[in-house]
Amino acid sequence: PEMGRTLVELFYDVVSPYSWLGFEVLCRYQHIWNIDLRFRPAFLGGVMQATGNKPPAMLPKRAEYMLKDIKRMAKYYQVPVQISEDDFQRIFSTSNLGAMRFITAIDMTQPRYLETLSREFWMRFWSQVSIFTPNYIIFSQVARQAGLSPELSQKLLEMISSPAVKNRLKETTEEAIKYGAFGMPAVVAHFNGEPHLFFGSDRLELLGSVIGE
Active site residues: 16
Residue 81 amino acid letter? V
**Residue 86, class by beta-carbon neighbours within 10 Å (0-12 exposed, 13-18 middle, 19+ buried)?**
exposed
Q: Residue 144 and residue 138: Cα distance in Å, rounded? A: 10
Which value, to the nearest 10 degrees, does the dihedral of the CA atoms of residues 135, 59, 48, 176 take? 100
73 closest CA partner among 212, 203, 210: 203
